[in-house]
Chain A
Amino acid sequence: MIEFETVMAGSLEECLEALAKYGSDAALLAGGTDLYVLIETGMKLPKAVIHIGGVKELRDSKVKSGSVSIGTAVTHSEIDRLDVTEGVECLRAGARAIGSPQIRNVGTAGGNIANASPAADLYPPLMVLDAVLELRSLRGTREVGLEEFVAGPGITSLRPDELITCARFKRPEGRFYTGFAKIGLRDALAISVANAAVTVTSRNGKFDQVKIACGAVAPRPIRMKEVEALLTGQEPSAELIKQAGDMTSKQCDPITDIRASRDYRRQVAGVIVSRLIENASRELMMDGKEGATDA
């Protein structure tokens, strides 16, 4: 039988104290949709479980001078309907693509990030938004970018006495396109076989700032820097978009597992990236009919 102590943290202070006390013997519990699976399968055997779902400070979301911050214990369902995420479609769509309504009602942003699955659906959206995480411990507060935070499957730079308090990103300004796409083996309750998010702006009918991130195609979610460079400053064309897809496939280094083969993951990652870029060019009206201008 699995036995552990539970700490029902009432405040951030209590969380941090409990974390300092138990260190690596502790596991934070937000929605439990990853943690319970880890405990059940014996991958994690915490001596103490600290419940953070009731901590008000961690459920705050706000916009301060153009910077959006999402509290770590905000659920996926909430992300999809918060005022502060309005227009940030990649993030909303990423949250909507997770699990099922039941999972989204309890699963949280912080859980998804800290669990650091290569297939986690919030990573690509947060990466193309250049999000940074605020990490707190009794010793202090630090900020790290997502790419710096995650090193591999379940491997992060989080220290044993730290927790994530929020994710912060700048709201994209002006006219922009943002989108998320996922290939799972069914339409709900499916772990991504490949996922991708993009943010794109245009200037004078050309791609201007392009950010692309993909998940489930490498040991950790990755930014597609070469593809971004390929597109930046270029006029959209069918040929270019196809090239972007092909280049994405090439940049991917996925594994073969029970869900899909390496080849399939590469193929479909390219497909969803080129489809997102095509949507972007259509939505930003870069199809030549109307010279797209930034707002």
Chain B
Amino acid sequence: MKSEVRPAVGAVIPSVDSLPKAKGTTRFIQDVNLPGMLHASMVYARTPHSRIKSVTLPKALSIKGVVAAATCDDVPGENRVGLVIDDQPLFVSSVARYEADCVALVGAESTAAASLGASCVEIALEELPPVLTVEEARKPDCPRIHKDGNLAVERKIIKGDVSDGETRSDFVVERTFTTPVQEHGYLEPIGALAVPGADGSIEIMAPAQCPFYIREAVARCLGLPLSKVRVIQLPIGGAFGGKEDVPSEICARLAVLAVKTGRPVKTVLSREEDLVYTSKRHPMRLDYRMGCTQDGNLTFAEIALYADVGAYATLSPIVLFRSTIHAPGPYEIPNVSVTTQGFYTNSAPKGAMRGFGTPQVVFACESVIDELAEMAGLGPIEFRLRNALKRGSTTATGQVLDESVGLVETLTRAKEFLGDDKQQFEPRPAGADTVRSTGIASMLYGVSLGAAGRVLDRGGARVEILKDGSVSVFVGCTDMGQGALTVLSQIAADSLGIATDAVRVNPVDTGVVPDSGPTVASRTTIVSGNAIIDACDKIKTRMVEVGASILGPKAAYDVSRGGIAGARSDSGLGFPEIVSECFARRVDLTATGWYVVPDCRLDEVTGQGKAYHVYSFATDVAEVEVDLKTGRVDVKSFLAIHDSGKIINPMTATSQVEGGIAQGIGLALYERFAVAEGRVCSRDFSTYLVPTSLDISDDLSVEFIDCHSTDGPFGAKGLGEPAIIPVAAAIANAVSNATGVRVEDLPIHRERIVKCS
């Protein structure tokens, strides 16, 4: 029998898709063109709030090359795309609620004709007073953006008695923070292609995170059964949550025009359109009050969050659920009250972005924790250790954590790294006008959809073993650059005991795999990974039956070698042999695996219960240098310590965290999405600055605490979002420590540092 196969899980394997991407041979949506294909351009309202009186097309249709246009009148099914709350039209029919609310779609023989055509669509509208801020939207006499008012979402947690906690407090910190809009800034703007079928079906190709969302949106708008809509995922050039819900709208519009013309229709947004039209991270105002005893034990947290959800609710109910749950941080606090409200404004919808409502609350919470630590005379690490969630702790929702809680280990490692817990956080002069200091921040993150997404929290995989012994895998979650294809190959390889390169994980095809929910919430490794294991187990059972008929009843699957082991150590069938044997006997080596995330439920009123089935943890350490005269902040070094359970691939995991640090540095220091009078001013990357490679520290380190989760595949938990979550908080704490002035607003404004010093 063959010798043992080196386990793939835990091995350093470069992303399977990295080489073609580096060579430029990957075919993105921009490269996909079909014969007879139309290019489409969206027509936007171009004013923040208005009543649309008429949309007139003849002038646009007279442009050379323009073939057709679609408006709300052309939608065969429902003209709606609301995801959680049904508040959003596919094409605006009466009221346009933000600058880039889509009124029509123009299809033409070339992109140039399409955009010229789009600019010639005549819109007669009456401007309505725009509601631009949450402060305005909250006022009782404010104009209503939707008929039920401007309050879109409300969430709560009530645990214990906050006023009782306050009476027992020796120190109380009260502070208001604000966090900004953040743009995903993926390299590849959103695009899609809709291809009508002769039988009335339709096929969609799109670089999108959630092909099953697209299938539903297209079926609904076209009035088709789900079975007649097939969605095939194209390679994704970055997503970060930005390609979660937005592609559904675009695909449904393309589908309407494709059906109307009988031709394939494609669009790829320009960078400007992408910046103005698509979803962003929720900006928030965060009112925090927290207290502790003289010994540094947290007594209460009273938190109110106010989020701007933009023109439509889209994913806000779920994002703000997450903010609410995570607002009190990874600490044991006996008395907690969190109230979250999301308000409509006349701006682009706020949706999913890496961290999903968590980086905001972690910034506020970790700032307050630092202040309380100082009042209690404890070092920031000591204070956190004293209050940290551990195995057996009760969270703010009353959930008892029974396994895989690695927060203390991350803090202990941070302490070991820094040495002295107090001195490190003092300001240290570095030059005539510069000063350095260090800051830390910790977080927890509920993996997968949790109680708010309970019904969607399952996923499938289809595994087929081919006669040459290679393995074809289809899963329902997408790779958007985070390394899913690679990590899932490793999981399949180790489930069967074969080499990783014998496995090919295919892009999502809704015609092949069952609805697996969205690719979000750092859930892919767990959900698709477990579904693959389940499918492999089913196939292995059939192989063992065949093996037993040759080797006797003691035959068992041997994952260390791949194949069937017999009763005696020298008897057995290698993987190729058992595969041939199965093919000779016409045994089906295809299976669909299924995984259901353990049930989570919360009480509607008190927010008490099990919020998520398992949590990832992290502690980040940032060292910064601040130029007090120019306000420039330089991240000198950054250490991220993560508990994401078993790390399936240290290389792709490390690169996830490094990318998260970069994006977190952007949130902390650079990214400022400028809007004036309801119109976006940051319409390109020269006015919306993301950090470049020079702005990210040369000294980044990433470490993992291997804290197994029993439910995760091979013990894994989620990592994609934790990567960014504590970054801005750690930098803000470092800057506060360096300047002696508490950072209350992100991004940290140079002009404010200059004024304060």
* Residue contact B754 to A267, C-beta cutoff 8 Å: yes
Distance in angstroms between the alpha carbons of A115 and B586 in the assembled complex: 74
B691 proximity list for chain A (CB < 8 A): 186
Within 8 A of A (CB), among B654-693: 670, 674, 681-682, 686-687, 689, 691-693
* Residue contact A263 to B629, C-beta cutoff 8 Å: no
Distance in angstroms between the alpha carbons of A183 and B627 in the assembled complex: 12
**Within 8 Å of chain B (Cβ to Cβ): is A39?**
no
For B630, give the chain A residue with the smallest CB separation.
Answer: A268
* Residue contact A188 to B629, C-beta cutoff 8 Å: no
Within 8 A of A (CB), among B517-570: none
Select which of B112, B630, B681 is within 8 A of A258 by beta carbon.
B681
Give the size category of A's interface with B. Answer: 20 to 34
**Within 8 Å of chain A (Cβ to Cβ): is B750?**
yes
The total number of A-B Cβ pairs within 8 Å is 47
B689 proximity list for chain A (CB < 8 A): 185-186, 190
Within 8 A of B (CB), among A266-284: 267-268, 271-272
Select which of A187, A191, A271 is within 8 A of B686 by beta carbon.
A191
**Within 8 Å of chain A (Cβ to Cβ): is B116?**
yes
**Within 8 Å of chain B (Cβ to Cβ): is A1?**
yes
* Residue contact A186 to B686, C-beta cutoff 8 Å: no
Distance in angstroms between the alpha carbons of A263 and B632 in the assembled complex: 16
* Residue contact A264 to B692, C-beta cutoff 8 Å: no
A187 and B687 in contact, given A1-B116, A264-B754, A271-B629 (Cβ under 8 angstroms):
no
Distance in angstroms between the alpha carbons of A226 and B333 in the assembled complex: 62
Distance in angstroms between the alpha carbons of A21 and B87 in the assembled complex: 59
B629 proximity list for chain A (CB < 8 A): 267-268, 271
**Within 8 Å of chain B (Cβ to Cβ): is A261?**
yes
For A259, give the chain B residue with the smallest CB separation.
Answer: B687
Select which of B112, B630, B674, B751 is within 8 A of A271 by beta carbon.
B630
**Within 8 Å of chain A (Cβ to Cβ): is B695?**
yes
B681 proximity list for chain A (CB < 8 A): 258
**Within 8 Å of chain A (Cβ to Cβ): is B605?**
no
**Within 8 Å of chain B (Cβ to Cβ): is A260?**
yes
**Within 8 Å of chain B (Cβ to Cβ): is A100?**
yes
A258 and B682 in contact, given A187-B695, A189-B692, A268-B630 (Cβ under 8 angstroms):
yes
Return the CB mask of B624-660 against A: 1 if under 8 Å, else 0: 0000011110000000000000000000000000000
For B676, give the chain A residue with the smallest CB separation.
Answer: A258
**Within 8 Å of chain A (Cβ to Cβ): is B694?**
yes
Distance in angstroms between the alpha carbons of A183 and B632 in the assembled complex: 9
B682 proximity list for chain A (CB < 8 A): 258
Nearest CB of chain B from residue A75's CB, rounded to whole Å: 20
A258 proximity list for chain B (CB < 8 A): 674, 681-682, 687
* Residue contact A1 to B112, C-beta cutoff 8 Å: yes
B754 proximity list for chain A (CB < 8 A): 264, 267-268
A261 and B692 in contact, given A185-B670, A186-B670 (Cβ under 8 angstroms):
no
* Residue contact B116 to A264, C-beta cutoff 8 Å: no
A188 proximity list for chain B (CB < 8 A): 692-695
Distance in angstroms between the alpha carbons of A272 and B629 in the assembled complex: 9
Nearest CB of chain A from residue B670's CB, rounded to whole Å: 6
A267 proximity list for chain B (CB < 8 A): 629-630, 754
A183 and B674 in contact, given A188-B695, A263-B751, A264-B751 (Cβ under 8 angstroms):
no
Nearest CB of chain B from residue A38's CB, rounded to whole Å: 13
A260 proximity list for chain B (CB < 8 A): 751
Distance in angstroms between the alpha carbons of A264 and B687 in the assembled complex: 17
25 contacts between A and B (CB under 8 A): A183-B630, A183-B632, A185-B670, A185-B750, A186-B691, A186-B692, A186-B694, A187-B692, A187-B694, A188-B694, A189-B686, A190-B689, A258-B674, A258-B682, A258-B687, A260-B751, A261-B751, A264-B631, A264-B750, A264-B751, A264-B754, A267-B754, A268-B629, A268-B630, A272-B630
Q: Which residues of B contact A (CB under 8 A)?
A: 112, 116, 433, 629-632, 670, 674, 681-682, 686-687, 689, 691-695, 750-751, 754
Q: Which residues of A contact B (CB under 8 A)?
A: 1, 100, 183, 185-191, 258-261, 263-264, 267-268, 271-272
Q: A185-B689, A191-B686 are in contact. List 4 more A-B contacts (CB 8 A).
A: A1-B112, A1-B116, A260-B751, A267-B630
